[in-house]
Structure 1
Amino acid sequence: MSKFTRVTSLITLMVSSLLTATTWADNLVQVFDTAGQKEDSAIDWSQLGPDQTLLGATATVTTTQGLSATVSFAGPNSVVSIVCKNAPPLAKDCSWTGLGFPAGNRVLWASDAANGGNGPIKVSFANPVLGVGALVQADLPGQFTATLEVFNGSTSLGVFNSQSNSAGGATYLGVRDLSSANITSAVFTLSDCATTCTDFAIDNVHLDANGALVVLSSTALTFPPQLINTSATQQVTVSNPGNALLSIKNITVSGDYSQTNTCGNGIAPGGNCVITVTFTPKHIGDLKGLVDILDNSQDAEHKITLAGTGTADQISPTSLDFGTVVTSASQPVFLTNIGTTTIHILNISFGGDNPTQYSQVNDCNGKIDAGKSCTITVTFTPQFLGPLPATLLISDDGSGGAPQTVTLTGVGSNG
C-alpha cells in the first residue's frame, strides 16, 4: 500500500464558521470548539489500528465511556492515518501532513486508498447522545465547507455548516441538542472543496454522551418542629437516567443533620439509590443544613437544602376530643420543658373556627423550668349546637418561633 501524503502551506489556523440560521424542532445549537461541546466522552480512532490500517465499509468502535458506536463509509478501503509533524524532525510512520489536526493523532481518512474518496462519514450511536463534533479537513489544500447533519433514527434533526479558511485548515464542526439526548447518528460531508469532496478526514469525535446523570426526587427538605435531642428522618431518591455509571465520590451534610445512603460507590444506568437524612436538633430555633453530593456527572455537584426547627417544649396530647357536651367539659394538656434552660410562656390563646367556645386555666406561672412541666386545663363550653372545632395556641421561647398547637373538637348538644 502506498504512503498517503498531502502538503499544505504552513499557516496559522484561522477558522471562520457559518451557522445555518434555522429553527429546529429540537433546540439545537452549533458548537465551534471542544470546550463548547461539553465533552464527557470521545471516540479515539487509535483503537482501529496503526497508521494506514485499511478499513471496511463499516467499523465498530467504543467510546472512552464504554459505549458502542459504528462508523460507516460509502465503501471499503478508508484508512486510519497518523498526523505528521509540520516541523523537523518529521515522523516517519505517519501519512497525514499539514496544519490543523494535532500531530500524532489518528484521524479517520475516507480515502478509498487514493482512488477518490469514501465520504460521507457516518457515526451511529448505540445510545442517543446530546452532542457530537469533530475537527474536519479536506484531503488537499483549498477552502471547503464541512457539513454535519444529525439524526434521530431516520429523522433529520438539523444541518450545520462550517467553512474553513482559504488554505483549507481543519475546522471544528459540532452540535448540541439542548432538548434532550436525541442524536442517534451524525453524518459528516464536504462541499465547495478544491478537489474531491468525498476525500476528507475527521479527527477524534467529541461527545456529550448523556453519560452519568443525576435526578433528585427533591432538592429541599423541610422538617416539622422537632424536640431537641430527638430525631426525625426524610428521604431523597437519587436516580441515574443516563447511560453510564454514576460514581458517587462523596456525600456530606452540615448542621444538626446526618445522612445514610444506599448508593455505595455508584449507580448503574437506569438505577437509583436513597439518601436518608436525619434531623436531630441540638439547639432551639430555625436550623439550616445542606446535603452535598459529589459525583462524576457533568454538573459534578448536587445539593439538597435542609430546614427544620428545634424545640424544647413537649406538648401532650396534641389533640383533645370532648365528644358531645351539653354544658361544659374539661381536659388537661401537659407542657414539658426537656431543655436545659427555663422556657417562658408568652401567650396561650385559641384560634380556628370557634375560639370562643373554649377557655383555659394553667399553673405555668409564665415559665417552665428545665426538666419541669405545667398543666393547661382546657374547658369546652358550647354555646351552639353541632360540631365546634378550634385550636389551642401556645407561644413560648422554647418552640423555635411557631406556636405549639393542640387540635380541639367537640359537639354542642341540648341534651
Structure 2
Amino acid sequence: ATVKNNNAIAVTISSVAVSGNFAIISDGCTGVLAANSSCTETVTFSPTATGAATGTLTFNGNFSNSGGTSSLTGTGTLLAPTFSPSSLAFGAVTVGTTAGPSSITVTNPNTLPLPFTSATVSALSSDYSITADGCSGTMVAPSGTCTVSIDFTPTTTGARAGQVTFVDQGGSGSQKYALSGSGKAP
C-alpha cells in the first residue's frame, strides 16, 4: 500500500496496524513523511481457512484522517494433493484378463483438512475400474493419505490409455491421474 502526503508540510505517522490474516512485512511509513512525498507498506496474507478473508491496514498520526484504513482482501485456497506413484502403468496384459488391483496413494500437503468429493475413471471402453475408493466423500487430514485401487482389464489389443479424475478442494479442484496399459493377444 502506498501512502502519499499531499500537504505542504511534513506529517508524522506514529503507527501502522494490520488486522485479519494479514501481516506487515516491511514498514516504510512509520516516522516523518515529508511534504508531497510517499511511503510504502508491504503486507503479506496467511490464510487460516479457505474462502474470502478481509482485513484492514490502519494509519495513525498527526494528520486529519488519522485512523484511516485501507481495506485488505484475499482468498484462502488449498494446495492440490500429491500422488504416489506419479502414474500407474500396467504394462502388457492379455485381453480379457485382469491386472491389479494397483493402488494410488493420495497425500494432502496442506496444514488444513482437504475435502474429496469423488474419484472417477475415464478410459477407452471399460478397461479400467476402481475396485476400492478410500478417498471419495472423505476429509483427508493435514499430511494424511487416502487410497484408490484400480484394475486393468483390456478389451482389445493395443495401447489402452485412461485416467482417474479426483475432485477435491485443492488446486484447481480437479486433478487428473494417468493410467496406461496395453492389451495383448491370448
Deviation at 1:364, TM superposition (A): 5.7
Q: Give the structure 1 partner of residue 7 of structure 2.
A: 242
> How far apart in 2 are the matches of 1:365 and 1:268?
59
2:15–2:30 CA contact under 8 A, matched in 1? no
User: What secondary structure is seen at the aligned counterpart in 1 of 2:35?
Assistant: coil
> Structure 1 pair 375/288, CA: closer, same or farther in 2 (3 Å)?
farther
Q: Identity rate of aligned residues, in percent?
A: 20
> Structure 1 pair 371/313, CA: closer, same or farther in 2 (3 Å)?
same
Q: Give the structure 2 partner of residue 279 of structure 1.
A: 45
Equivalent of 2:144, from 347, 372, 396? 372
1:394–1:403 CA contact under 8 A, matched in 2? no
1:337–1:373 CA contact under 8 A, matched in 2? no
Please report the TM-score for the alignment, with normalisation by the length of structure 1. Answer: 0.26
**Mapped pair 1:345 → 2:116:** yes
> Structure 1 pair 261/348, CA: closer, same or farther in 2 (3 Å)?
farther
> How far apart in 2 are the matches of 1:238 and 1:268?
12
- Mapping for residues 9-24 of structure 1, pairs under 5 Å: none
Equivalent of 2:173, from 387, 400, 404? 404
Q: Give the structure 1 partner of residue 23 of structure 2.
A: 258
Equivalent of 2:63, from 297, 308, 319? 297
Deviation at 1:292, TM superposition (A): 1.0
2:60–2:68 CA contact under 8 A, matched in 1? yes
Give the number of the structure whose alpha-carbon radius of gyration is greater: 1
> Structure 1 pair 238/361, CA: closer, same or farther in 2 (3 Å)?
farther
> Structure 1 pair 336/267, CA: closer, same or farther in 2 (3 Å)?
same
Q: Give the structure 1 partner of residue 33 of structure 2.
A: 267
Deviations 1:7-50 (A, max 9, x none): xxxxxxxxxxxxxxxxxxxxxxxxxxxxxxxxxxxxxxxxxxxx
Q: Give the structure 1 partner of residue 108 of structure 2.
A: 336
User: What secondary structure is seen at the aligned counterpart in 2 of 1:370?
Assistant: coil
> How far apart in 2 are the matches of 1:269 and 1:393?
57
2:60–2:66 CA contact under 8 A, matched in 1? yes
> Structure 1 pair 346/251, CA: closer, same or farther in 2 (3 Å)?
same
Q: Give the structure 2 partner of residue 85 of structure 1.
A: none
- Which structure has more RCO (C-alpha within 8 Å, separation ≥ 6)? 2
> How far apart in 2 are the matches of 1:238 and 1:316?
42
- Mapping for residues 172-321 of structure 1, pairs under 5 Å: 236-259=1-24, 260-315=26-81
Q: Which amino acid aligns with 1:256?
A: N
Structure 1: state its 5+ residue gaps.
Answer: 1-235, 318-331, 350-359, 377-391, 408-415
> Structure 1 pair 406/277, CA: closer, same or farther in 2 (3 Å)?
farther
User: What secondary structure is seen at the aligned counterpart in 2 of 1:308?
Assistant: strand
User: What secondary structure is seen at the aligned counterpart in 2 of 1:299?
Assistant: coil
